[in-house]
Structure 1
Amino acid sequence: FIPANTPFLTLTMQRNIQRFSPSMRGVCSLAMPAPPASVKSAKLVNPKAVDVSFSDGSCYRFHSLWLRDGCRDSTHVLQSSERSLEASPLVSRFPRSAGAKGVEVNAQGTSVQVEWETGSVPKSTFNAGFLRAFADVAGKQLEPTASAAKAEDWFEFIDGKSQKAKAPETLQLWRADDLVIPKFKHGELPSRRREFMMALMDPGVVIVEDMPEDREFDGSVLSRFAMDYLGGLQKHPRRTEAHWTISTQEAILPSNMLHASRGGTNAYDTDKQLCNHTDQSLYGLPGLLLGFHCADGQGNNSLTDGFAVAYALKERKPHLFDLLSRHGMAAGRRLEYYASGPLMFDTNHRVLNTDADGNLMRVQYHESYRTPLTVPYEDFEGYFEALATFYEMVHSPEFQTHLSVSAGQLLIMNNWRTMHGRAGLKGKARTILGGTVTREAFYSAVRTMEQEELGVPPEVECGVPTAAYPYVAARPEARLRV
């Protein structure tokens, strides 16, 4: 029973807790399959435009120049997926006044050939599925589709193009008492890959159990895992390796670090507590994922759902949410513990990054690196109140929870959402290897997964929107999932 006066955020949380209970872990996607695309007819409207009618009943008009520029057949594109510069209308100086002089559909309706008035390429050939995949974004719709709605890309919010966040009511927002961390056995990930990748984004924290043993503590296990399932680890400009190491064993710490300087920082002094934060908060675009592989001993962490805090703040004190999403927070850091030389940051990023609708794209915050604020004089007091309120909520019993990670476990977090801290463990032996994964790397892994599941030929996928993969897939029926 949910009372009628339950606040929006609480209602959202309760419904999502029920909807995404552990017993429903097999529910991954309800996307409908797109039928194999074919072309019924194509006609030249004039040299500047071509109309294409598809088997699903839809009809679109394409700019002839878009067709000439966007063609991906072997004449236009190299095997490496790069453009053939000789065929590029920019490099070959295809006349702007020129256009198409003919169009032909093959007998099976699987391809369309366009003949050009002039230029370095006499003809361009298009797969029917390719044209249908781009029709919604590049064409002008003349007749609507008669088939079911097209499949959606669940991961679209991180594709780097849409800039549209998921609405809060669709998220599994969690508080301290709500969180049930999804857990996956290392050996079962190949069969649960989609579920795993979705859980990394929402609720934004996952534990992988039974990780292979990293006997040398060299990070090879974490690196291999990231390469297989996440797109690969991000390389720090001053580190020799892509991963970092936190250990009570001096002998296995990286040789390119000045241990005396390193031990004086909040980040690497593991005897100290560390307030909840997001990693790479000083970066223009922080890594999307953050992983901690406990290779030996035990690590204790605090966790907070930054989105749950932010949406609660928006509900309770919207003017403070507005200040954190409108003004940047000045921050900086000077890294002096690398033998290769110092690395300095001087940034100003919003704590709450939102899309045009005010929905959260990213939380970006680390109190340790905050420098003198540079918000306008008239907004300073309000902004400082907003920071203080946000900090208090992030560390409050309502939102902050704690967990321990033991040897053989890998904790992975959505670094754009899940804030983490560290409980001091003075005197306890442990070795933890960690690293970050960029948005680009993870979304590449998403596209690779979709390509493999749908049977999308490698030479076709480049540039095709992920949601449109079924149109160019060899196995579009694979899109049906429950």
Structure 2
Amino acid sequence: MPIARLEPHDDFLRVHFAEDEGPRHADFHWFWLRHNSELDRHPTTRERIVCSSELPLGLRPRGVKVSEDASSLDLDWGDRADGQVSRYAAEWLRAHAYAADRGLVPPPPSDSASITVHSSQVREPLVPFALARLREEGAVVVRGFGKDTEALIDLFGAAGLAVIETHFGRIEDLRTDNTTNRNTDQLGYTDSAVQLHTDQPFLARPPRYQLLHCQRPAEQGGENSVVDGLAAARYLESLDASAFELLRTVPVTFHRKQAAFEKVLVSPLLDFDAPGGFRIRYSYFTLAPHRVPFATMEAWYRAYNRFATLVRDERHQLRFRLEAGDFLVYDNWRMLHARTSFTGARWLRGVYFDER
């Protein structure tokens, strides 16, 4: 019953078996493998001499390989002065496979080419084409449209979207010297980095889509990134069902307080029952102090932090830079977005839309 190949992941190891009978593959958490190492048993009685509580949950091996005859798996944990490795027979792994033939849920995508088109290469009406890509992928970047935002608004209007005015106004001029908008005392009008978030999570119905239309790029920095929040939620569910359930069920408070505007909403981060479909509310800068039950607080923070670590991993982000005339449209119910800090007179125009 030889091992065909190994497939290491961040949290677990997938072992593929060569024979057809039984499971074709099985997944094992790194921590589970470390806890079940034969190195941690008494040499005479073969009883455990190490409790799992003595081992850090973040354990990862230094080396992973299949033995020369493919009959076993060798893991070097890097913590043995004698250089010994943990050996797991293929038959033993198959017999103790607690996740045999488990399906693999993909992480959020990271290839920005999948959401990018150039306006000169689209041989059909541009905005309907962009909207079709948006609804499939959650976001679309269009290069080389030009800088006429009103013309772009008219095209989206003709395609069935309506502009949603917010407490900032009809069109946001996202620039550090803004003189055209209300309520500019927030991060978007500075040159600071704005980490991943969704917009307007404190509204009962946040705007569905946002357009970001580049008028002038930064001299340095100012790159954008988006993350598929729905894919991230499903990926988290496949790794940590308890964390997923806490983010889906425990309500927290979003509180936007500015000099001339204030709004509060209580909701879980992940809402699969919202009218119109899935909705994620994720905004570190508008989260109020949590008031969840005492016995839930630490567990909720662990769940939130695991999700935050997942989406902040650049391997799970679509990253790009908008140049003058380019625009991004993303689904604000599904996608998280961010920008890096910048220098220079960067200017993007922001418009919210919803279905008519």
TM-score range (shorter-chain normalised) is: 0.5 to 0.7
Partner of 1:268: 189
For residues 400 and 383 of structure 1, what CA distance do their matches in structure 2 show? 24
Partner of 1:204: 138
Q: Which amino acid aligns with 1:389?
A: R
Alpha carbons of 1:372 and 1:174: their partners in 2 closer, same or farther (altered >3 Å)? Answer: closer
Q: Which residue, 149, 155, 171 being the options, matches 1:243?
A: 171
Q: Which amino acid aligns with 2:329?
A: I
Partner of 1:455: none
Which digits, 9 at most, give the CA deviation of each residue in 1:105-155, with x for residues without a partner? Answer: xxxxxxxxxxxxxxxxxxxxxxxxxxxxxxxxxxxxxxxxxxxxxxxxxxx
Q: Which residue, 273, 282, 303 being the options, matches 2:202?
A: 282
> 3-state DSSP class of the match of 2:238?
helix
Is contact 1:174-1:203 (8 Å) kept?
Answer: no
Alpha carbons of 1:343 and 1:189: their partners in 2 closer, same or farther (altered >3 Å)? Answer: farther
Q: Which residue, 321, 346, 352 being the options, matches 2:244?
A: 321
Which digits, 9 at most, give the CA deviation of each residue in 1:202-248, with x for residues without a partner? Answer: 2111012332333xxxx423432332335121111x44x41111124
Partner of 1:18: none
Residues 1:381 and 2:298 are matched in the alignment? yes
For residues 272 and 175 of structure 1, what CA distance do their matches in structure 2 show? 26
Residues 64-79 of structure 1 aligned to structure 2 (within 5 Å): none
C-alpha displacement of 1:189: 7.3
C-alpha displacement of 1:422: 1.0
For residues 180 and 346 of structure 1, what CA distance do their matches in structure 2 show? 36
For residues 163 and 281 of structure 2, what CA distance do their matches in structure 1 show? 20
Residues 1:227 and 2:147 are matched in the alignment? no
Residues 136-215 of structure 1 aligned to structure 2 (within 5 Å): 174-177=108-111, 180-185=114-119, 188=122, 190-191=124-125, 195-214=129-148
For residues 416 and 376 of structure 1, what CA distance do their matches in structure 2 show? 27
Alpha carbons of 1:191 and 1:256: their partners in 2 closer, same or farther (altered >3 Å)? Answer: closer
C-alpha displacement of 1:197: 2.4
For residues 26 and 198 of structure 2, what CA distance do their matches in structure 1 show? 30
Residues 1:431 and 2:328 are matched in the alignment? no
Number of residues paired by the alignment?
Answer: 255
Partner of 1:371: 288
Is contact 2:146-2:324 (8 Å) kept?
Answer: no
Q: Which residue, 345, 351, 364 being the options, matches 2:263?
A: 345
For residues 287 and 232 of structure 2, what CA distance do their matches in structure 1 show? 20
Partner of 2:310: 393
For residues 320 and 289 of structure 1, what CA distance do their matches in structure 2 show? 28
> 3-state DSSP class of the match of 1:233?
strand
Q: Which amino acid aligns with 2:188?
A: A
Is contact 1:182-1:199 (8 Å) kept?
Answer: no
- Structure with the higher fraction of residues in strand conformation: 2
Q: Once superposed, what is the RMSD of the aligned Cα atoms?
A: 3.0
For residues 205 and 212 of structure 2, what CA distance do their matches in structure 1 show? 20
> 3-state DSSP class of the match of 1:421?
strand
> 3-state DSSP class of the match of 2:235?
helix
C-alpha displacement of 1:196: 3.0
Q: Which residue, 277, 290, 295 being the options, matches 2:215?
A: 295
For residues 405 and 177 of structure 1, what CA distance do their matches in structure 2 show? 16
Partner of 1:354: 272
Partner of 2:335: 418
For residues 134 and 303 of structure 2, what CA distance do their matches in structure 1 show? 28
Partner of 1:312: 235
C-alpha displacement of 1:389: 1.0
Partner of 2:51: none
Alpha carbons of 1:423 and 1:230: their partners in 2 closer, same or farther (altered >3 Å)? Answer: farther
Which digits, 9 at most, give the CA deviation of each residue in 1:61-111, with x for residues without a partner? Answer: xxxxxxxxxxxxxxxxxxxxxxxxxxxxxxxxxxxxxxxxxxxxxxxxxxx
> 3-state DSSP class of the match of 2:245?
helix
Is contact 2:108-2:317 (8 Å) kept?
Answer: no
Structure 1 segments unaligned to the other structure (5+ residues) = 8-168, 337-341, 445-482
Which digits, 9 at most, give the CA deviation of each residue in 1:276-327, with x for residues without a partner? Answer: 0111111111111111000222541122111221111101110010011001
Is contact 1:272-1:424 (8 Å) kept?
Answer: yes
Partner of 1:474: none
Alpha carbons of 1:178 and 1:422: their partners in 2 closer, same or farther (altered >3 Å)? Answer: closer
Percent identical residues: 22
Which digits, 9 at most, give the CA deviation of each residue in 1:358-416, with x for residues without a partner? Answer: xx712111000111112222221111111111111110133134210111111111111
Is contact 1:300-1:405 (8 Å) kept?
Answer: yes
Which digits, 9 at most, give the CA deviation of each residue in 1:333-355, with x for residues without a partner? Answer: 1122xxxxx22111112111114
Which digits, 9 at most, give the CA deviation of each residue in 1:41-60, with x for residues without a partner? Answer: xxxxxxxxxxxxxxxxxxxx
